[in-house]
Amino acid sequence: MIFNKESDFEAALIKILSEKGWEKEVLKNYSEQDLLRNWANILFENNRDIDRLNDYPLTDSEMQQILEQIEALRTPLKLNGFINGKSVSIVRDNPDDKLHFGKEV
């Protein structure tokens, strides 16, 4: 396929991904904060277990801890390792998570 407009390409890609089982919800006109909140939600959904986030979402400051760890990765090799399954530890500051509050998870 040849596309003359980026928006046509995006629409076609979204259609194909949706047909392959991806969620139809797509962020549009998003801010950096919207993207970070979306990522925090994805991280929460993938780490809800009692030994991880204990079914309590990440706070903004917990998400900031993750971002600081990413910013410390200065090389493509280190970033690739992070993207491909590196574990990240944070200190829980969500007071609702009484089991892990103040502890590293």
- Tell me what pLDDT residue 84 has: 85
Q: What is the pTM of this model?
A: 0.71
Rounded Cα distance, 39 and 28, in Å? 15
Sequence-distant (6+) residues with CB within 8 A of 56 are 94, 96, 97
Sequence-distant (6+) residues with CB within 8 A of 54 are 48, 97, 99, 100, 105
Tens digits of residue pLDDT in 2-34: 899 999 999 999 888 888 887 766 677 789 998
- On whether the CB atoms of residues 40 and 57 are closer than 8 A, the answer is yes
Tens digits of residue pLDDT in 53-86: 999 999 999 999 999 998 998 888 888 888 887 7
